[in-house]
Amino acid sequence: MSDRLLGALTRRRTALPLLAVVLCLPPFYLDAFWLRIGLFSMAAAIGAVGLALLSGTAGQLSLGHAFFLAVGAYGYAWFAGEPGPGLPPALAALLAVLLAGAAGGLFSPVAGRVKGIYLGIATLALVFLGHHVLLTADSITGGFNGRSVPPLTLGGFTFGADDGELTVLGVPFGAEERLWYLGLALFAFTWFTARGLLRGRPGRALAALRDSETAAAVMGVDVARHRSAAFVVSSMYAGLAGVLLALAFRRVVPDYFSLALSVDYLAMIVIGGLGSVAGAAAGAVFVTALPLLMTRYADQLPLVTAPGSAEGTVGPTEAARYLYGAAIVLVLLYAPDGLHGLARRARDRVRRRHTRTPGTEPSVPTPPQPAAAARTEEHTP
Amino acid sequence: MNDRTSAAPPVLDVRDVTVRFAGLTALDGVSFTVTPGSVHALIGPNGAGKSTCFNVLSGLCRPGSGSVTLGGAELTRLAPHRIAALGVARTFQNIVTTHGTVADNLMLGRHALSRAGFAASALRLPGARREQREHLARAREIAGLTGLGAHFDSPVALLSYGDRKRVELARALCLEPRVLLLDEPVAGMNAAERARTVEVVGEIRAELGLSVVLVEHDMGLVMRLADDVTVLDFGRPIAHGTPDEVRRDPEVLRAYLGTDAPREDAA
């Protein structure tokens, strides 16, 4: 019985619409804290998908992802705000994404020629450069204090709180509730486009570049062009993530877009499983939600103290970092293909059992495979 | 689907190609001409420069001097992907496949023939989807032709050595090449696999009418398949001719078997 249910759940046709419905429910049941975790996770997932495309599929390391997130976030704040041209926010969001892509394009003489880990070092420069510009270009970025982000409006509807009361099915819709659906829509768009890219001609060419540059070149792949295109596309996803982050934070500050953020994104795609859209999204949720959850439940966790307590104790943020550091080590050791690989193996096992059971051996008691499948997933912290 | 195969392949002409790697002369004034539709074998002892010659033909290595022309196009100045777009496909001596399934590898071979860019693929535009479907159908056909039909959706990593070698051949064929460069297509294969590959090469040559340049150590296979043979030794061409002529050439016997006699008639 539960067997058949599991089998049905692992089928794409059933799983996707079901997932979509489930993801639409939280604003009706969860409070703003959880919604904010979800929002940050969705933004991170969009950025992580972009990085997965570059690092996982094309094999190009980038430590400059924070820079392109910053370009998206500040780009939106500037295009839509004051000081700035004060454009309609929807247009500003679009322009911010294009700006991030253009910034990636400017870097393409390097991104097209430099390979793998060397590109990682080259992009390191971008983060420091970006951080410096954010601090010093006061008139545009607001310097150390950053600047506030105007809410997004689309056809008269504001994704923010200052638009008067809105109540849907008895639930008051504030900024978080509204942004949740914007985040979902943007993430769905990212999912759709990234999977299309990966399964289409460009994705195959990029994967071939990663596996063997020589084979790709003699099969007709323009190496430099595809490397820079991968970099531009990844920058655009980062820009989109930056826009959503800016909307969720309602204020952008330079210190957020540091090297540590770039490293967080690398952690997301490693934990999730390199080169897969679903894996990048799962890794993004894990890395984003963990510190927030630990901060919230610090008083109930052993060995973790509330933020700002005496020295010599482990605060929730540090504890979260220890945990996801450990997660990376465990993933690299025991599941090099990340959460995505674990999920796929578990699904395959369920499917095999599912296709084997009907008819062939009606009287033989089936082993408790749902438990087995769950255990594989449990492996990941 | 492709009009390149309907016309006879152009002449591939190699003239005085010289390649030097830091003091070592890998190719020294090599010239030969591949007549359209023929199988031209390139043989010689290990280190004779056969693979370097292939690297020049496919654009991976730029010669110090000399020229390679295909029809009217000069290949030595072109990047590898441009040479591929002109219809020159190759396989490698040591298998170079990418991760993923046989289908993924064969579809990579269709890269130069398809058009869908980043935007069209990301938005899954109808044109891009149709193109992908059509090319997938052709790739499946080629997989059938090379005996990989049953493995079309299997990961390459799970295939046997002989099958992986055949994936490379099929991938090269997916380019709908006018000139096919085969670098030791049967090395490391067992007798049955060899026979199957020879059969396939014969079939594709008859069906698709392409020119084949072949590097191979298996002399039996060379004698059976080749119309012309060029023999290299230490980067120099030492003999040209039909398989029978080459087999009787004293210079060739010397290069392969060695001799105690001093070289009175050294070239």
Q: Residue A356 domain-assigned? A: no
CA distances from B260 to B132, B239, B254 (A): 61, 20, 9
Q: Name the average pLDDT for chain B.
A: 85
B107: chain A residues, CB-CB within 8 Å: 201, 204
- Tell me: pLDDT of B264 over 60: no
Q: Name the average pLDDT for chain A.
A: 80
Q: Is A317 left (phi over 0), alpha (psi -120 to 50) or beta?
A: alpha
Mutating which of B108, B133, B164 best tests the A interface, going by the most A Cβ atoms within 10 A?
Answer: B108
Domain range holding A98? 31-258
Q: Residue B1 domain-assigned? A: no
Asked whether the beta carbons of residue A220 and residue B84 sit closer than 8 angstroms, the reply is: yes
How many folded domains does chain A comprise?
1
Residue B181 sits in the same domain as residue B251: yes
A108: chain B residues, CB-CB within 8 Å: none
Domain range holding B224? 9-87+177-267
Residue B182 sits in the same domain as residue B76: yes
A:B CB pairs within 8 Å: 103
Asked whether the beta carbons of residue B79 and residue A222 sit closer than 8 angstroms, the reply is: yes
Q: Residue A4 domain-assigned? A: no
Residue B188 sits in the same domain as residue B243: yes
What pLDDT shows up at residue A310? 61
How many folded domains does chain B comprise?
2
Nearest chain B CA: its distance from A59 CA (Å): 13
ipTM of the complex: 0.85
Structure-model confidence comparison of residues B265 and B79, the more confident one:
B79
- Tell me: pLDDT of B21 over 60: yes
Ordered alpha helix ranges (H), B46-156: 50-57, 80-85, 102-109, 118-122, 126-145
Smallest CA–CA distance from B171 into chain A, residue: A219
- Tell me: pLDDT of B235 over 60: yes
- Tell me: pLDDT of A281 over 80: yes
Lowest model confidence (mean pLDDT) among A95-104, A127-136, A309-318, B66-75? A309-318
Q: Residue B146 domain-assigned? A: yes
Residue B140 sits in the same domain as residue B193: no
Paired tokens of B219:
């002399």
What pLDDT shows up at residue A3? 61
Task: Read off the CATH number of the domain in which B242 is found.
Answer: 3.40.50.300
Q: Residue B220 domain-assigned? A: yes
Asked whether the beta carbons of residue A221 and residue B108 sit closer than 8 angstroms, the reply is: yes
Choose among A192, A205, A218: nearest Cβ to B80. A218
Q: What is the mean pLDDT of residues B129-145?
A: 90
- Tell me: pLDDT of B254 over 60: yes
SS (H, E, C) chain A: CHHHHHHHHCCHHHHHHHHHHHHHCHHHHCCHHHHHHHHHHHHHHHHHHHHHHHHHHCCCCCCCHHHHHHHHHHHHHHHHCCCCCCCCHHHHHHHHHHHHHHHHHHCHHHHCCCCHHHHHHHHHHHHHHHHHHHHHCHHHHCHHHCEECCCEEECCEEECCCCCCCEECCEECCHHHHHHHHHHHHHHHHHHHHHHHHHCHHHHHHHHHHHCHHHHHHCCCCHHHHHHHHHHHHHHHHHHHHHHHHHHHCEECHHHCCHHHHHHHHHHHHHHCCCCHHHHHHHHHHHHHHHHHHHHCHHHCCCCCCCCCCCCCCCHHHHHHHHHHHHHHHHHHHCCCHHHHHHHHHHHHHHHHHHHCCCCCCCCCCCCHHHHHHHHHHCCC
Residue B77 sits in the same domain as residue B190: yes
Per-residue pLDDT band for A365 (boundaries 50, 70, 90) equals very low
Q: Residue A277 domain-assigned? A: no
Q: Residue B172 domain-assigned? A: no
Choose among B58, B81, B122: nearest Cβ to A222. B81
Choose among B109, B120, B128: nearest Cβ to A219. B109
What pLDDT shows up at residue A379? 35
Q: Residue A127 domain-assigned? A: yes
Residue B71 sits in the same domain as residue B182: yes
Q: What is the mean pLDDT of residues B66-90?
A: 90
Residue B202 sits in the same domain as residue B256: yes
Whether the model pTM is above 0.95: no
Q: What is the mean pLDDT of residues A66-84?
A: 89
Pairing of strands A251-252, A147-148: antiparallel
What pLDDT shows up at residue A46? 94
Residue B42 sits in the same domain as residue B111: no
Q: Residue A381 domain-assigned? A: no
Structure-model confidence comparison of residues A359 and A116, the more confident one:
A116
Structure-model confidence comparison of residues A360 and A51, the more confident one:
A51
Indicate the residue type of B90. Answer: R
Q: What is the mean pLDDT of residues A298-326?
A: 72
Q: What is the mean pLDDT of residues B105-115?
A: 88
What pLDDT shows up at residue A11? 66
Residue B82 sits in the same domain as residue B111: no
A221: chain B residues, CB-CB within 8 Å: 81, 108, 111
What pLDDT shows up at residue B195? 86
Say what percent of chain A tops pLDDT 70: 82
A205: chain B residues, CB-CB within 8 Å: 108, 111
Give backbone dihedrals phi and psi of B26, rounded to 5 degrees, phi first.
-80, -35
* Chain centroid to CA B101: 22
Residues B129 and B114: their CA atoms lie apart, in Å, by 11
Q: Residue B202 domain-assigned? A: yes
Torsion of CA A216, A222, A223, A224, to 10 degrees: 180
Tell me how long chain A is. 381
**pLDDT tens digits, residue range A124-160?**
888 888 888 888 888 888 778 778 888 887 766 777 7
Q: What is the mean pLDDT of residues A191-214?
A: 90
Nearest chain B CA: its distance from A209 CA (Å): 9
Residue B61 sits in the same domain as residue B115: no
Residue B62 sits in the same domain as residue B184: yes
B83: chain A residues, CB-CB within 8 Å: 218
Q: What is the mean pLDDT of residues A157-167?
A: 68
